[in-house]
Amino acid sequence: MTFKELHRQNSPLLLCNVWDVASAKVAEKLGFAAIGTSSAAIAAARGLADGENLKFAELLQVVQQIKQHCQLPLTVDIESGYSREPQLISEHIVSLNQLGVVGINIEDSVVNSQRELLPAEEFAATLSYIKQQLGQDQIDMFINARSDVYLLGHKNALELAQQRIRLYIEAGADGIFLPGIEQLDQIKTLSKTCSVPLNVMCMPQLANFTQLQSAGVQRISMGNFLFANMQQHLESQLNSIKQTQSFASLF
C-alpha cells in the first residue's frame, strides 16, 4: 500500500512522529504503518528552538540515518521550507526524495521574533510552484499543507481555515494539516469542505480516534508531544535517582 493509499482507509492513519533512529525503530517494532519527523523534537534534542533554527543539512543527516535503519514510509516536517524561495524549497524536497522520503509537511507560518502567518496567496503560490517542479521531475511526493490558524489562536480560525484550505487544495496540496484544532464540531465542518485528507494533531482536549474518524479525519499526528512526555519522564527518573541515592526506580 502506498503512502497516499494509507490516507484513504476506513480508519485514520495514525502517524508516529519520531526524531531519531531509536524512536523510528520503536515505531517500526510496534507496527505503525508510517512515521513522520517532528521538527520541534529534532530541534529540541539539539538544544534549539523550533522555527528553522536547525540547518537543512542537519535535518537531511537525521533523515538519512532514519532511512538507513527503518523501512517504514517516512514523511518529513520541513517547517516552512527552510527558505522563502520556492525554487530552493523545491530543491530541498528533491533532496529528501533522493533519500526515499515519500511525503513532506510544509507550513504557512514563519518564526521571526514570533510565529506569524504568511499571506495565504503567497503560500498557495509556493505550493503551486512546488507541485509544478515535482511534476516536471516526475517525483511523487505527498504534500501535506499545514495551516497554523488554530495553532496561533486566531479568533476567526474556522473562517480562515476554510479560505486557506480552498486555496491550498487549488494549488495542489495532497493533504491539509490543522495543528492546534480541538473543537470536534469545527473538525466536522472542515472535513466536509476538505476534498483531500484532513490531518489533526495531538492536543490536550482532542477527541479520541473513533470520534475523529466519525468527524472525517483521515490522518492523526503526535507532533512533539511524545518527545516532550519522554523528556518529562527522564527528568522524573533522574530526580528519583538523585533524591533516593539509588537506581531502584529504574527497575
Segment 115-152, tens digit of pLDDT: 999 999 999 999 999 999 999 999 999 999 999 999 99
If you average pLDDT over residues 10-32, what whole number do you get?
98
When pLDDT is averaged across residues 11-18 and rounded to a whole number, the result is 98
Strands 109-111 and 103-107: unpaired
The whole-angstrom distance between residue 102's C-alpha and the CA centroid of its chain comes to 13
pLDDT band at 249 (very low <50, low <70, confident <90, very high): very high
In whole angstroms, what is the distance from residue 63 CA to residue 200 CA?
23
Q: What is the pLDDT of residue 23?
A: 98
Q: Are 68 and 23 in contact (CB under 8 A)?
A: no
Q: Is residue 169 part of a domain?
A: yes
CATH of the domain at 81: 3.20.20.60
SS3 52: coil
Task: Tell me what the mean pLDDT of segment 22-38 comes to.
Answer: 98
pLDDT tier, 70 (very low <50, low <70, confident <90, very high otherwise): very high
pLDDT confidence of residue 110: 96
What integer is the mean pLDDT of 178-194? 97
Q: Which among 90, 41, 91 has a CA at the least distance from the CA of 66?
A: 41
Instruction: Using a cut of 0.85, tell me whether the model's pTM lies above it.
Output: yes
**Mean pLDDT across the stretch 86-108?**
98
Q: Which range of residues forms the domain containing residue 188?
A: 5-224
The string of pLDDT tens digits covering residues 203-247 is: 999 999 999 999 999 999 999 999 999 999 999 999 999 999 999
Cell 540547518 maps to which residue? Answer: 55
Number of domains in the chain: 1
Q: Is residue 250 part of a domain?
A: no
What does pLDDT average to over the chain? Answer: 97
Q: Order of strands, edge to edge, in the sheet holding 198-201?
A: 13-14, 219-221, 198-201, 175-177, 142-146, 103-107, 74-77, 35-37, 16-18
Helices 86-98 and 120-136 pack at an angle, to 10 degrees, of 50
Whether 110 is in a domain gets the answer yes
The yes-or-no verdict on residue 113 having pLDDT over 90 is no
89 occurs within a structural domain: yes
SS3 state of residue 201: strand
Angle between helices 157-170 and 184-193 (to 10 degrees): 30
Query: What SS3 state is found at 104?
Result: strand
The letter for the amino acid at 63 is V
* Residue 184, number of CB atoms within 10 A of its CB: 17
**Within-domain flag for 191:** yes
* Domain assignment present for 154: yes
**Amino acid type, 85:** E
Residue 158, in any domain of the structure: yes
d(C-alpha 20, C-alpha 41), whole Å: 9
